[in-house]
Amino acid sequence: MSRNYKFHDSHGTYFVSFATVQWVDIFVRDEYMRLFLDSVKRQEKNGLQLNAYCIMTNHVHLVFSATKGNPGILINQIKSQFSKKFISLLLNNKSEYRKNRLLDMFINEAKATSASKHYKLWQHNNKPIELWSNHVIDQKINYIHNNPVKAGMVAKPEHWKYSSARTYLGEEGMNDIVAL
């Protein structure tokens, strides 16, 4: 892995992106997005300070810091907790028409790697980039918030429900964040 994509400063502020295997769209229902945000919220007790986020249909962007100095572990725990709960929800969801196709894909991805036992939901890399200046922080937050606009999903960043863009405008958002 490139030196550019590692957590070097355990107390730094980071931009991370992670995607689902095969870029499959899993965040297509409100309950799935809320489940992810709940996984993020659970890590606050472990020192996660969320500064910005955007959940797209097949990937997630976060700006965060780890007040207890464990950024890589926090991201792994978010991904792991969400995966377990998502798979459980999927297994018990009779109305999810893609259920069997998704489960087969996640099983096959797990078989292709030794890192996962039963199901593999996420691509391996988080691509952490340390944010070293206010200019770079603003740049990444703008990138995150404009992601749904660039994808043609909404006209304005604050229209995307699963993003911190509303919070940065002083409106109520889906998750608590610490604005930078």
Tens-level pLDDT at each residue, the chain (180 residues):
444 567 777 788 999 999 999 999 999 999 999 999 999 999 999 999 999 999 999 999 999 999 998 899 999 999 999 999 999 999 998 888 999 999 999 999 999 886 667 999 999 888 899 998 999 999 999 999 999 999 999 999 999 999 999 999 888 766 667 665
Predicted structure pTM score: 0.89
Helix (H) or strand (E) run with residue 133 in it: none
For 64, 146, 154, the CA distances from 151, given in Å and listed in that order, are 23, 9, 8
pLDDT at 130: 92
Among candidate residues 19, 62, 77, 73, the one with its CA nearest the CA of residue 178: 62
pLDDT at 176: 67
pLDDT at 171: 81
The predicted-structure confidence for 128-153, as pLDDT tens digits, reads as follows: 999 989 999 999 999 999 999 999 99
pLDDT at 170: 85
Strands 48-55 and 129-130: unpaired
pLDDT at 4: 56
d(CA 58, CA 4): 23
Helix (H) or strand (E) run with residue 119 in it: none
The predicted-structure confidence for 90-112, as pLDDT tens digits, reads as follows: 999 888 899 999 999 999 999 98
Tokens of 4: 């550019």
